[in-house]
Amino acid sequence: MRNRIGRQTLLFRQPPQIISSAAIVSQMEAAGPLGEFFDTVMPEDTWGEESWEKAERKMFISSVHCALSKLGMQPEALDCLLGGDLLNQLISANYAARELNAPFLGLYSACSTMTESLLLGSVLLDGGYANHVACVATSHFCTAERQYRLPLEMGGQNPPTAQRTVTAAGCTVLCAEGEANARVYHTLCITHGTIGRVVDLGITDAANMGAAMAPAAADTLATHLKDTGRALSDYDLVVTGDLGSFGSTMFRELCAHKGLALGERHLDCGNAIFDPNTQNVDCGGSGCGCSAAVLNGYLLKRMEAGDFKRAIIMATGALLSPTATMQSDSIPGIAHAVVLERRSV
Amino acid sequence: MRNRIGRQTLLFRQPPQIISSAAIVSQMEAAGPLGEFFDTVMPEDTWGEESWEKAERKMFISSVHCALSKLGMQPEALDCLLGGDLLNQLISANYAARELNAPFLGLYSACSTMTESLLLGSVLLDGGYANHVACVATSHFCTAERQYRLPLEMGGQNPPTAQRTVTAAGCTVLCAEGEANARVYHTLCITHGTIGRVVDLGITDAANMGAAMAPAAADTLATHLKDTGRALSDYDLVVTGDLGSFGSTMFRELCAHKGLALGERHLDCGNAIFDPNTQNVDCGGSGCGCSAAVLNGYLLKRMEAGDFKRAIIMATGALLSPTATMQSDSIPGIAHAVVLERRSV
């Protein structure tokens, strides 16, 4: 296992390069603190389609086109498309893959899909199985509410621990080290991936996803540091996907119990994407589009600008299932991580 | 791309070894022509659990335990567990991964999950990212009918093109080339993987999955042969997942149109698992457990015995979604392939 370190971590010796990205959001996300960083803002939630589901599919497709267009590339040039969404049978991703016509690997790990996708995409590149891959995740507030909770038309009310599923799609284009290419980002690469475990502390409240995911995030972070022999101080930024305000507090406490004092270096995409004072989002944003949009819209630009040198990104997934919940199961979580590094050209 | 050949095919230069497998089925599959090859037969469809869903989860877990027990291995020794199932949010796989406590990658490509899992598992091993992985897929007749069509309690009738979702789980344990190990199979390895594309010829009938999948299988086979420069005669066996009798006829015709005369070397797991004369299964078996059980119960044993030297296995997935169907979408298909080879020790 020449490229494996410790229990769960993969080492990319020829670190895949991040060469482009795109993020597409709805009006709500565009009105938040990171609004200026997103590529495309949908005029309204159906984006001219007949249904929210078809709008979500369009977001997936458009995010790939947008990221590739910055490179002058066509989808046919992709050696693999990897991604997923929150909808049953991954209908956003699968129907999008039909249109994009690239070899496609469908992935599901709830809101941890963006990093599962980056991790496996990096394996394909570092291992010499591909030269260009696109990694994508998407979610939509209206489709997610209908599927996981209540149709919006019913006008249900949220408890204060609820989070708002972000309507967004994010796409990262990776290429193998040393490939000559047009590129939007000149300095960014992925050096490690840590495969998550399914962790379950017994949360049963579908309106408290942050609490369901926080244990998995803490587990993955602690394992990653143990596997790599690194300290928290080796990272400028520890990014979680969509724990929200309640889940973030829990995450920091769980980390503290493991001897990890996060201090100022923790950023949660679910906390960052909305303004809690002016936007009515309870505990923040969620959904696999949340980390996808914040990463591909905001974080990569900040890293390329030199604001952060090394970050660990853990998109966090709550494996919520209405069927399992009705059968009295708790909600397990999972968090896959990748390490992003800015290297001098 | 030192390990890539052509548009969609990966080359494993250090071919991952298949060292163990297990297949678990219900009474119905055990009564079929391949009954003697399966490891465990459930006494009844709930297997002592409170629900069919929990039985399916138990099947997933048990298939891993069964395959590992033949090696004297514990799940904790796995560097990665890869797999999925047909249920929304992959609840069989995700809850099973919680119990098995291994690093887990959740995959969804409908009934093509078994080969997606083998393909990505092989990438992890050949690329040096893991030494041991388990690849798993499962499906259950009763949970699939409830989710995709009608609850069984409604007593709906099937048209003649329908297939019966197989109640089965299959697990393959792979290890990196050259690793010294206890092993059930001494001669079997995976030499290539071909990533499928989403192909859609416009089928809209949820009771005709074979027709929805056949075009994807023909596409993957033709691409694989083109990528590798091989002819059909280089394979002793061309295996499809669960096209059933109608879909198999369509597959052979589509192949013939591409100049590929399959002759006697085609075997469809959906045709093989039930006896059409004595078991009332319309067009045959389906579900991702179908190819998983036939591969892990029957085919690997036949190959190890020397009956076949080289086989291409294409599990076939119909990306059927009740939501998409209600929104007038057709049913796309996908087929990921792996090449199994028997090598002298």
Which tens digits make up the pLDDT trace of A112-170? 999 999 999 999 999 999 999 999 999 999 999 999 988 898 888 888 899 999 999 99
User: Which tokens in the block code for residue A41?
Assistant: 């803002």
Which pLDDT does position A345 carry in this prediction?
67
Among candidates A327, A200, A332, which has minimal Cα distance to B55?
A327
Compute the average pLDDT of residues A25-39: 98
CB A271 within 8 A of CB A292: no
Furthest CA-CA distance within chain B: 54
Question: What is the overall mean pLDDT for chain B?
Answer: 96
Half-sphere exposure of B23 (CA within 13 A, CB side): 29
Tell me the CA distances in angstroms from A241 to A214, A277, B185, one per residue in order. Answer: 10, 20, 42
**Dist CA B299 CA B314 (whole Å):** 13
Q: Which of A3, A319, A325, A336 would best serve as a mutation to test chain B binding (most B beta carbons within 10 A)?
A: A319
Of A95-99, A152-156, B112-116, B259-263, the least confident: A152-156
Q: Give the amino acid at B138.
A: T
| B178 part of contact set with chain A, CB < 8 Å | no
| A322 part of contact set with chain B, CB < 8 Å | yes
φ, ψ (nearest 5 deg) of residue B209: -65, -30
Percentage of chain A beyond pLDDT 70 is 100
Residue B99 neighbours by CB distance under 10 Å: 16
B141 burial (CB, 10 Å; 0-12 / 13-18 / 19+) is: buried
Q: Provide the number of CB pairs (under 8 Å) joining chain A to chain B.
A: 191
Would you give the distance in Å from CA A205 to the centre of its chain? Answer: 22
**Dist CA B55 CA A52 (whole Å):** 34
Q: Which of A85, A323, A325 would best serve as a mutation to test chain B binding (most B beta carbons within 10 A)?
A: A323
Which pLDDT does position A248 carry in this prediction?
97
Which tens digits make up the pLDDT trace of A227-262? 999 999 999 999 999 999 999 999 999 999 999 999
Which pLDDT does position A344 carry in this prediction?
81
User: Which tokens in the block code for residue B132?
Assistant: 């041991």
Compute the average pLDDT of residues B24-41: 98
φ, ψ (nearest 5 deg) of residue A247: -65, -35
Compute the average pLDDT of residues A102-118: 97
Which pLDDT does position B150 carry in this prediction?
86
> Across the interface, do B320 and A89 touch by the CB < 8 Å criterion?
yes
Compute the average pLDDT of residues B140-158: 91
Percentage of chain B beyond pLDDT 90 is 93
Compute the average pLDDT of residues B246-253: 97
Which pLDDT does position A15 carry in this prediction?
97
Looking at per-residue pLDDT, the higher value among B268 and A158 belongs to: B268
Which pLDDT does position B158 carry in this prediction?
87
Chain A residues lying within 8 Å of B318, measured CB to CB: none
Answer yes or no: is pLDDT of B1 > 90: no
CB A243 within 8 A of CB A193: no
Among candidates B139, B99, B137, B98, which has minimal Cα distance to B121?
B137
CB A289 within 8 A of CB A139: yes
Of A10-19, A121-130, B321-330, the least confident: B321-330
The H or E element spanning position A227 is helix A209-228
Which tens digits make up the pLDDT trace of B191-249? 999 999 999 999 999 889 999 999 999 999 999 999 999 999 999 999 999 999 999 99
Cross-strand pairs, A239: A267, A313
Answer yes or no: is pLDDT of B174 > 90: yes
CB B1 within 8 A of CB B195: no
Compute the average pLDDT of residues A24-32: 98
User: Which tokens in the block code for residue B38?
Assistant: 């399966």
Interface list for A 74-113 with B (CB within 8 A):
79-80, 84, 87-91, 94-95, 97-98, 101-110
Chain B residues lying within 8 Å of A51, measured CB to CB: 327
Q: Which of B12, B94, B135, B331 would best serve as a mutation to test chain A binding (most A beta carbons within 10 A)?
A: B94
Compute the average pLDDT of residues B306-335: 95
> Across the interface, do A197 and B97 touch by the CB < 8 Å criterion?
yes
Answer yes or no: is pLDDT of A181 > 80: no
Residue A50 neighbours by CB distance under 10 Å: 10
B345 pLDDT band, cuts 50/70/90, is low
Which tens digits make up the pLDDT trace of A309-344? 999 999 999 999 999 999 999 999 999 999 999 998
CB B81 within 8 A of CB B102: yes
